[in-house]
Amino acid sequence: MATATITTARGTGSVRLAHGEDWLTVCERGLLIPGRGVAVLLPDGDQAAVFMDRAGQVYAIGNRDPFTGAYVLSRGLLGSAGGRPFVASPLLKQRFDLATGACLDDDEVSVPVFAVRAD
């Protein structure tokens, strides 16, 4: 019988997002898997997509794809273009810069970005 090993973030600690004037703890850092996103339901009913890249940097953007209205960005694929980390929407494949929220394929579109503290 074979077993699978999943590599998670090094160290322990929590991931917190700036929400209003507070910092909201959304998960333990060790639960994030590099290259995969997780959706987070915020107290006001909005959603964030949290990602950790392979270097261990954590990002959070709005989870709503502005082109379709679907809450799916947390399911997108991570990549980089010109040294800028992005997530590509799983639906229409538009790319969103994880640091700024800007759409790399349409200068007039962006998603919200949340400040992140990852211990």
Backbone angles phi and psi of 85, in degrees to 5: -70, 140
Averaged over 102-115, what is the pLDDT? 97
Confidence (pLDDT) at 47: 97
Q: Give 3-50 pLDDT, tens digit per residue.
A: 443 344 455 699 999 998 999 999 999 999 999 999 999 999 999 999
Helix residue ranges per DSSP H, the chain: none
Backbone angles phi and psi of 105, in degrees to 5: -110, -5
CA distance 60 to 74: 9
Tell the residue number behind the tokens 């799983």, with chain if given: 90
Confidence (pLDDT) at 119: 85
Asked whether the beta carbons of 52 and 6 are under 8 A apart, the reply is no
